[in-house]
A = this chain, B = another copy of it.
Amino acid sequence: MALKPVSRRLVPDEVFDQILSGVVDGELAPGESLPSERRLAEVLGVSRPAVREALQRMAQARLVEVRHGGSTTVREFRRSAGLDLLPRLLVRDGELDLAVARSILEARLAIAPEVATLAAQRGGADLIERLDEAIAALEADHDPVARQRAALGFWDHVVDGADSVVFRLMFNSLRAAYEPALDALAVLMEAEVSQLDAYHKVRAAIAARDAALARAATEQLLRPATNSLISAIHDLEEA
């Protein structure tokens, strides 16, 4: 049997999630005022500090605006929220949001080649070593989920090699969106992580410090799965 840690939901987390859902799912319209902290605490049956903690986290995510003395209002999250909201948008009521998934695939295909380009220009010998290790792990693992993790490790090192704070943080955010759904997605992405020769080509291009080739090889690696998944999503959206 597969044991996993029991999850004890904390009170402020629960409150946060409820308000977040209200905002993201549109039950709370932008500009609308939330009930006061005291009222929320009463309605939810929790203490005011718990409500307050949740609201402050909502404010940090730029989903609501808290004004001392005034009421807390809902912001237009599409215009204000940061990339860290992505995990919550990708899975909605336990289901994948297809439009969001498509968007992630597009962004991945657009950005990864740029990152590989930078890595080819800037990476050192240690980067190549780590890429080799990652590819070895990819070859060794046969479980689809484990291979996904190995592939993530490969890109992790490529991102390191690119020496770009922005791409690093983007990768972290995208990874945070991808990993919770990894189990479900592993089978869909299996075709990609099986293309070991394609990974080798990316590695070789980076090792040769050939930026253009690194870009091309990366696109070649990602394009097939991206295209087939996006067209599959398109078909699903039709139906």
Q: Is the interface of A mostly helix, strand, loop or mixed?
A: helix
Q: With A82-B176, A169-B81, A170-B170 given, is the CB distance from A164 to B103 under 8 Å?
A: yes
Say which residue of B78, B82, B89 sits within 8 Å of A83 (CB atoms).
B82
Contact A166 B84, beta carbon cutoff 8 Å: no
| Nearest neighbor of A110 in chain B, beta-carbon distance | B114
Which residues of B sit under 8 angstroms from A128, Cβ to Cβ? none
A237 vs B107: C-alpha distance in the bound complex, in angstroms?
31
A166 vs B86: C-alpha distance in the bound complex, in angstroms?
7
Which residues of B sit under 8 angstroms from A170, Cβ to Cβ? 83, 107, 170
Kindly provide the distance from the CB of A34 to the nearest chain B CB, expressed in whole angstroms: 18
What total of chain A residues lie within 8 Å of the partner, measured CB to CB?
40
Q: Is A52 an interface residue (CB 8 A)?
A: yes
Q: Is A57 an interface residue (CB 8 A)?
A: yes
Q: Is A173 an interface residue (CB 8 A)?
A: yes
Q: Is A118 an interface residue (CB 8 A)?
A: yes
Kindly provide the distance from the CB of A209 to the nearest chain B CB, expressed in whole angstroms: 18
Contact with B along A84-107 (1 / 0, CB 8 A): 111001000000000110011011
The B-contacting residues of A in range 143-197, CB under 8 angstroms, are 164-170, 172-174, 176
The B-contacting residues of A in range 1-40, CB under 8 angstroms, are 12
Contact A86 B56, beta carbon cutoff 8 Å: no
Contacts A82-B173, A83-B83, A107-B164 aside, 17 further interface pairs with beta carbons under 8 A come to A53-B56, A56-B57, A57-B60, A60-B60, A60-B61, A62-B176, A79-B172, A80-B172, A82-B176, A83-B169, A83-B170, A84-B84, A103-B164, A103-B165, A104-B166, A106-B164, A107-B166
